[in-house]
Structure 1
Amino acid sequence: MSSPRNPLFIVLAFFSIYFIWGSTYLLNKVAVTELPPFMLASIRFMTAGILIFILAKILGKSLKITRKQFLNTMIAGFLFLAFGNGISVWALKFIDTGIAALVISAQPLVVLVLLYLLDGKKILPMSMVGVALGISGIYLLVSQNEIVSNENFYLGITMIFACLISWSFGSLFVGRSNLPTNHFVNTAYQMFTAGIMLGIASLLFNEEWSSPDIWSGRTQLSMILLVIFGSIVAFTSFNYLLKVVSPEKVATSTYVNPVIAMLLGWYFLNEQITTQSILAASILLTGVFFINTKKKLVIFSRFTSKLPLKNRKI
Structure 2
Amino acid sequence: MSGTVQARAAGTALTPTVMLALAAVYVIWGSTYFGIKVAIGSLPPLGMLALRFGVAGALMYGVLRARGVPAPTPRQWGWSAVVGLLLLGGGTGLVTLAERDASSSVAAMLIAVSPLFSGLFGRLWGERTGAREWLGIAVGLAGIVLLNLGELRATPLAALLLVLAPLCWTFGSQWSRHLPLPDGLMGSAAEMLTGGAALAVLSVVTREHWHAPTPASLWALAYLIVAGSLVAYSAYMYLVAHARPAVATSYAYVNPLVAVLLGVGLGGEHLGALGVVALLVILLGVLLVIWPSRPTLEAT
- 1:131 aligned residue: 137
- After superposition, what is the alpha-carbon deviation per residue over 1:80-128, rounded to whole angstroms, capped at 9, x for unaligned? 1011101101111222212211221121111112223x14555432122
Distance in 2, Cα, partners of 1:13 & 1:278: 26
**Closer/same/farther in 2, CA of residues 206 and 143 from structure 1, 3 Å limit:** same
Please say if residues 141 and 253 of structure 2, whose CA atoms lie closer than 8 Å, have aligned partners that are also in contact: no
Distance in 1, Cα, partners of 2:119 & 2:185: 28
**Closer/same/farther in 2, CA of residues 130 and 7 from structure 1, 3 Å limit:** closer
- 1:106 aligned residue: 113
Please say if residues 99 and 141 of structure 1, whose CA atoms lie closer than 8 Å, have aligned partners that are also in contact: no
- After superposition, what is the alpha-carbon deviation per residue over 1:181-229, rounded to whole angstroms, capped at 9, x for unaligned? 1x2211111111111111111112211134xxx4222111111111111
Shift in Å, 1:170: 1.3
**Closer/same/farther in 2, CA of residues 57 and 308 from structure 1, 3 Å limit:** closer
- 2:279 aligned residue: 281
- After superposition, what is the alpha-carbon deviation per residue over 1:118-159, rounded to whole angstroms, capped at 9, x for unaligned? 145554321221121122223334441xx23x4x43332221
Check if 1:53 corresponds to 2:67: no
Please say if residues 175 and 247 of structure 1, whose CA atoms lie closer than 8 Å, have aligned partners that are also in contact: no
Letter in 1 for 2:279: A
Q: TM-score, normalised by structure 2?
A: 0.89
Identity percentage of aligned residues: 27
- 2:157 aligned residue: 155
SS of 2:69's equivalent in the other structure is coil
Letter in 2 for 1:86: G
Which 5+ residue runs of structure 2 have no aligned equivalent? Answer: none
SS of 1:100's equivalent in the other structure is helix
Of 71, 77, 80, the match for 1:73: 80
Please say if residues 36 and 208 of structure 1, whose CA atoms lie closer than 8 Å, have aligned partners that are also in contact: yes
Q: How many residues align?
A: 292
SS of 1:176's equivalent in the other structure is coil
Check if 1:254 corresponds to 2:252: yes
**Closer/same/farther in 2, CA of residues 190 and 258 from structure 1, 3 Å limit:** same
**Closer/same/farther in 2, CA of residues 154 and 283 from structure 1, 3 Å limit:** farther
Letter in 2 for 1:135: L
- 1:312 aligned residue: none
Please say if residues 96 and 271 of structure 1, whose CA atoms lie closer than 8 Å, have aligned partners that are also in contact: no
Shift in Å, 1:43: 1.0
Please say if residues 32 and 90 of structure 1, whose CA atoms lie closer than 8 Å, have aligned partners that are also in contact: no
**Higher deviation after alignment, 219-228 or 240-249:** 240-249
Shift in Å, 1:270: 3.5
Distance in 1, Cα, partners of 2:142 & 2:226: 34
Check if 1:229 corresponds to 2:227: yes
**Closer/same/farther in 2, CA of residues 94 and 275 from structure 1, 3 Å limit:** farther
Please say if residues 38 and 201 of structure 1, whose CA atoms lie closer than 8 Å, have aligned partners that are also in contact: yes
- 2:193 aligned residue: 192
SS of 1:277's equivalent in the other structure is helix
Distance in 2, Cα, partners of 1:266 & 1:95: 17
Shift in Å, 1:68: 2.2
Distance in 2, Cα, partners of 1:60 & 1:67: 18
Shift in Å, 1:176: 1.6
- 2:34 aligned residue: 26
Letter in 1 for 2:179: S
Letter in 1 for 2:186: V
RMSD of aligned Cα (Å): 2.2
Distance in 2, Cα, partners of 1:271 & 1:219: 21
SS of 2:207's equivalent in the other structure is coil
**Closer/same/farther in 2, CA of residues 277 and 159 from structure 1, 3 Å limit:** farther
Distance in 2, Cα, partners of 1:45 & 1:79: 14
- 1:37 aligned residue: 45
Shift in Å, 1:272: 5.1
**Closer/same/farther in 2, CA of residues 237 and 205 from structure 1, 3 Å limit:** same
Shift in Å, 1:264: 0.9
Please say if residues 110 and 165 of structure 1, whose CA atoms lie closer than 8 Å, have aligned partners that are also in contact: yes
Letter in 1 for 2:228: G
- 2:268 aligned residue: 270
Of 163, 166, 169, the match for 2:168: 166
Distance in 1, Cα, partners of 2:255 & 2:162: 14
SS of 1:235's equivalent in the other structure is helix
